Each structure stands twice: as structure tokens, then as C-alpha cells.
Structure 1
Amino acid sequence: MIGLLTRLGLSTRAARVGAIAIGVLAIAGVLWAAIAQTYRSGSAAGGSKVAGKVAEQRAGHLAEARADERQATAVTIAIADGAARADALSETLLRTTIQDLRDALDATPPAVAGAAPPVVPADRLRDDLNAAIARSNRSGSAAGTP
């Protein structure tokens, strides 16, 4: 290398310095190429590793969300079933109360002309309504409502 530089017209001392500079540049180029290759391969490997972890986390979050969704669906169905049962019981109680009222009115003897109307025998109906109100109050107290 020094011989080539001296043939180009450089002094021996300048040729030595040039040869050393070229050697240092060559070593720096090789090191730069090695670092660049390591960076590219590491970046690709790191990217795959991160993508794999993200996919695992996403799958875990999706499974958790689906489990929560199934649980929410089950709770919603249970609430709807409870509300339907309560509606059916309320409707049955209402129909029974109306029928009891009609029966009490039908059992009333006809009024005599010019006399005050007879008293409707509503004792059993009153007792049934009071019992229903007491049950409602107890269930409200058990549920913690004021």
C-alpha cells in the first residue's frame, strides 16, 4: 500500500500516514457494516418478539372480555327472568284481588227501596290486601329499601 502511494508521488512519510488512514477507514467501514447488520437483524428479531407478546396479550384481553360478556349476558337473563316472574305474580295478585272484589259485590244482598244500601262484606278482601301489603313491606325491608 505504501509502495503504491509513493509511486503516486507521495513521500514515504506521507504514504505511511495515508496507508494508516486507509487502514483505519477500512476497519471503521467493516465495524459500521457489522453494527448495521446487527441492528437490522436485532430490529427484525425484536419486532417479531414484541409482535408475539402483543398478540398473546391481545388474546388474553379478548378471552377476558368474552368471559365478562358471557357473565353479563347470564346476569341480564337472570334479571329478566326475575322481572318476568315478578310481573306474573303481580298480575296474578291483581286478578285475584279484582275477582275477590267482584265476588264481595255479588254477595251483597239487594238494597230495599228507600233504605240505605247494605254494607259490602269486604272483611276477607281487606284481610287479603293487608296481608299482601305486609308481605310487600317485609320484602322491601329485606332488600334494604327505605
Structure 2
Amino acid sequence: MIAGLAKLAIGIGVPTRIAKPVAIAVVVLAITGAIWLAIGLVYRSGRTAGGASARVAIGEQHRERTAEARADERLAADVTIAIADRTARADVLSETLLRSTIKDLRDALDAMPPAAAGAAPPVVPVDRLRDDLNASIARANRAGETAAAP
């Protein structure tokens, strides 16, 4: 191949003594150019493939994070509903207890006989009411101790 290039160089007017080095230089330049072209193609295809790979990886991470966020959102909604239900039940129980206490107090006051004129009013029979209030306080204290314990 170099000999053919040297003959071509002589044919176009290159002096004989430098025809062979010119042919070698042309071959070296052609090989170097081919190597640089291959490197450029590999770099470009690698950059394109790397970019596509990165886009795919980022898209996959986004889908995973989105799914995780949606699962967290559903869990938070479920917890919120559970808290609201529990609060509503506690409100109903508190209101029932309050109405019961008020009824017991009114019943105790209604059961009291009228006082004679000028006499001290009779003692109101509040034993049952006191016992119910003490039991409610004890229940609340136990619930508070249970909630405070880790």
C-alpha cells in the first residue's frame, strides 16, 4: 500500500527521495483520522446513550417517589379519618357522661324535701353523684397514666 502511494506521489510530481516518507505520512494521517473519527463516534453515541440511560433512571426514580408519596398520602388520610372517628366517639361519650352527671345532680336536688320556714335546708342526697364523679375521675386518671406510658 505504501509502495502504491509512493508511485502515486511520484506521478503527481513529488521528488523520488521523499515520495516514500510522504506516503508513510499519508497513511499515518489516514489512520490517525480514522482513530479520531472512531473516538468521536464512540463519544457521541456514549453521550447519547448515557443521557438516555440517565433520563430512564430519573424517570424510574420519579415514578418510585411518586408512588411512595401517594401511599404516604393515603396512609395519612386513613390516619386522619381514624383520629376523627375516635374524636367523635370521645365527644359522644363525654357528652353522655356530662348529661348523666347533670341529670344525677338535678335528680338529687329534686329529691330533696322542701325546708321548713326558718329552718336550715336539709342535706342533699348526693352520695350516688359523688361516687359517680369519683369513679369518672379515677377512670380519667387511669386513661391519662396509660397514655403517658411509652
Q: TM-score range by the shorter chain?
A: 0.7 to 0.9
1:63 maps to 2:57: no
1:72 maps to: 76
Whole-angstrom CA distance in 2 between matches of 1:130 and 1:13: 123
Match of 1:21 in 2: 25
* Alpha-carbon distance in structure 2 between the residues aligned to 1:64 and 1:90: 38
Aligned equivalent of 1:112, options 86, 109, 116: 116
Give 3-state SS (helix, strand or coil) of 2:41's partner: helix
In structure 1, the gaps of 5 or more residues are: none
Structure-2 residue corresponding to 1:94? 98
Amino acid at match of 1:42: G
In the TM superposition, residue 4 of structure 1 has moved relative to its aligned partner by 5.0
Task: State the shift of 1:125 in Å.
Answer: 0.6
Which whole-Å CA distance do the structure 2 matches of 1:9 and 1:138 have between them?
Answer: 112
Q: What residue in structure 1 maps to residue 45 of structure 2?
A: 41
Q: Which structure 2 segments of 5+ residues have no match? A: none
Rounded Cα–Cα distance in structure 2 between residues aligned with 1:3 and 1:143: 101
Give the partner amino acid of 2:86: G
Shift of 1:130: 0.8
2:128 maps to amino acid: R
Following superposition, which runs of at least 4 residues in structure 1 exceed 6 angstroms of deviation? none
Q: Percent identity?
A: 62
Figure out how many residues of one structure are paired with residues of the other and give that number.
145
Q: State the AA in 1 paired with 2:117.
A: A
**Which residue of the partner structure matches residue 137 of structure 1?**
141
Q: 1:116 Cα shift?
A: 1.0
Distance (whole Å) between structure 2 residues aligned to residue 48 and residue 107 of structure 1: 87
Task: Tell me by how many angstroms 1:18 deviates.
Answer: 2.0
Shift of 1:25: 1.0
1:63-88 per-residue CA deviation (whole Å, 9 max, x = no partner) reads: 12211221121111111111111111
Measure, in 2, the Cα distance between the counterparts of 1:87 and 1:26: 90
